[in-house]
Amino acid sequence: MREVTDSPVRILGKKPEHTHVVIQEIADEDWGFLGLLTDDWKKKQTR
């Protein structure tokens, strides 16, 4: 959390108390990459 907070403080000059960090886990099947669902992209990589 410290490093994630420090980056916008350092780069953008934001105040740490104005920086909120949210971690949300997203299942692989809910992601896309290069126009494909991640599961389909991974299958193409193993071929």
pLDDT averaged per 10 residues, the chain (length 47): 94 94 88 88 86
pLDDT of residue 10: 96
Round to whole Å and give the CA distance between 21 and 4.
7
Is pTM beyond 0.75? Reply is no
**Can you read off the two tokens belonging to residue 25?**
């886990």
Round to whole Å and give the CA distance between 28 and 23.
15
Domain ranges of the chain: 2-45
Round to whole Å and give the CA distance between 5 and 15.
9
The DSSP element (H or E) to which 36 belongs, if any, is: strand 36-37
